[in-house]
Amino acid sequence: MGERYSRVYSLPENLYLDGSPVLIAAGALLKDNKTGNILVQLKLRNLYHSPLTACKVNIRAFDPSKAELSGVDGHSYLDLSVERGVDFGSREAIQLPDTTTRSFAVSVIQAVFEDGTVWQHSAAEWTQSMLKKQPLSDMLTDNELQKQYCIETGGESNYVPEIAGGLFLCACGTINLTSEKTCCNCHREYNDLISALDVESLTSKKDERLAKEEAERRERMRLEAEREKERQRKKEEEREELLRQAEERRKAERAARKKKSIIALIVTAIIILFIGLGIYYMRVVLPESKYKRLRICWRLKIMMGRLWLSENLAIIKTLLKESTRLSINRPRKC
C-alpha cells in the first residue's frame, strides 16, 4: 500500500521580503492520494525579538501551465507563542480549492507580536533570500584555521557570516534580522564574527596554538611515560613482594612439615619405648617380682615355724619324755 500523501511541488528555501519579521523557511504542495485533495504545508520562522502570536498568509495557486487558479486569501495562524528563531506552521495543512493545482506562491501579509507590534504588508512576491550561505571551509580550507576561528569567536562556526537583503546570516547558520544585534541562537554579534575572520591573524594564532599544543602534548607524553614507569616499578615491587610472601609461606610450610615429622618421630619413639618397657616388665620385672615374693613368703614361713618351735619346744620335749616313759612302762606281750 502506497503512502497517503505525495509531494508534487516545493518552494525554494528561505523566501523573504525585505523588512519582514517572518521568514518562509520552506513550503510543499501535497496531494492526498486517498481523497485527491491538494494541500499546502508551510514552515515559517519568527525573526522578531518578541514572541509571535498570530500570522496571516495569502496563497496563489497555479495549474501545470502556470495559469493562476483559485487560491487562499488571508489564511490565519492563531493562538501562537513563537519565540525568536523558532519555526511554526509545519503541523497545519491548508487545503486549496482547485485539485488541478500543481504549484503555488506564498506571501505573509500580517504578523502580530506579543509586545503589541503589528507588521502588515500587501500581497507581494517573496523571493529567495540573497544570503549565499557560503561554507566556512570555502574561505578557510585548513581545518586548523577553522578550529582557530571557532576558538576566537567562542562557538561553532560552519558558515561565513554575511548581511544581505535585510538579513544577517550568523556563522552558526542561523538567519537573523540585521536590526538584531546578536544571533538568536549563539548570541554572537556580526561585527565580532567579521573582525575575527582575518586569515593572517588566524594563521599566526593557529601556529602559536599548535606550538603550545605540541609542547603540552610532549609534556603529557613525558608525564605519562613517568607515570607508566612508576606503575611498572610498583608492579615489579608488588610482584617481588608476592614472590617473597610465597617463599615465606613455602618456608613456613616446610618448617611445619619438619616439626610434624619430628613430633611424629618422638611420639613413635615414646610408643616403642613404652612397648619395650611393657615387654621388659612382663618378661623380666614381673617374674622376678613374683620370685622375690615367693622367697619372702618362704622365709616368713620358716621364721614363723622356727618361732613356733621356740615357743613350744618345752611342751614338745615334755610330750616326748612322756611318750618315752609310757613306752617303757607298757607291758610286753608274750
Q: Are residues 52 and 106 in the same domain?
A: yes
Residue 93: domain span: 5-128
Strand partners, 22: 46
Q: Are residues 177 and 112 in the same domain?
A: no
3-state secondary structure of 69: strand
How many domains is the chain partitioned into structurally? 3
Q: Are residues 15 and 93 in the same domain?
A: yes
Q: Are residues 81 and 117 in the same domain?
A: yes
> Would you say residue 247 lies in a domain?
yes
> Would you say residue 319 lies in a domain?
no
DSSP 66: -
Q: Are residues 114 and 19 in the same domain?
A: yes
> Would you say residue 237 lies in a domain?
yes
Q: Are residues 25 and 96 in the same domain?
A: yes
Per-residue b or e along 136-150, where b marks 16 or more CB atoms closer than 10 Å to that residue's CB = beeebeeeebbbbbb
pLDDT on residue 322: 66
> Which has the closest alpha carbon to 106: 75, 85, 80?
75
Q: Are residues 122 and 160 in the same domain?
A: no
> Would you say residue 250 lies in a domain?
yes
Q: Are residues 65 and 112 in the same domain?
A: yes
Q: In CATH, what number is assigned to the domain containing residue 112? A: 2.60.40.3230
Out of 88, 106, 128, a domain closes at 128
> Would you say residue 26 lies in a domain?
yes
Q: Are residues 158 and 103 in the same domain?
A: no
pLDDT truncated to tens, each residue of the chain (334 aa)?
Answer: 468 899 999 999 999 999 999 999 999 999 999 999 999 999 999 999 999 999 999 999 999 999 999 999 999 999 999 999 999 999 999 999 999 999 999 999 999 999 999 999 987 889 988 888 899 999 999 999 999 999 999 989 999 999 998 999 999 999 999 988 889 999 999 999 999 999 999 999 999 999 999 999 999 999 999 999 999 999 999 999 999 999 899 999 888 888 888 888 888 888 888 788 778 767 776 666 666 666 777 777 677 776 666 766 667 667 666 666 666 655 555 4
Out of 109, 128, 147, a domain closes at 128
Q: Are residues 39 and 141 in the same domain?
A: no
> Would you say residue 15 lies in a domain?
yes
> Would you say residue 220 lies in a domain?
no
Measured distance CA(156)–CA(143) in Å, rounded: 13
Q: Are residues 53 and 30 in the same domain?
A: yes
Measured distance CA(27)–CA(44) in Å, rounded: 9
- What is the enclosing helix (H) or strand (E) of 7? strand 5-10
Q: Are residues 124 and 16 in the same domain?
A: yes
* Other Cβ atoms within 10 Å of 55 Cβ, number: 25
pLDDT on residue 157: 93
Measured distance CA(131)–CA(27) in Å, rounded: 18
pLDDT on residue 334: 44
> Would you say residue 241 lies in a domain?
yes
Out of 179, 197, 215, a domain closes at 197
Tell me the three-class secondary structure of 247-314, residue by residue.
HHHHHHHHHHHHHHHHHHHHHHHHHHHHHHHHHHHHHHHHHHHHHHHHHHHHHHHHHHHHHHHHHHHH
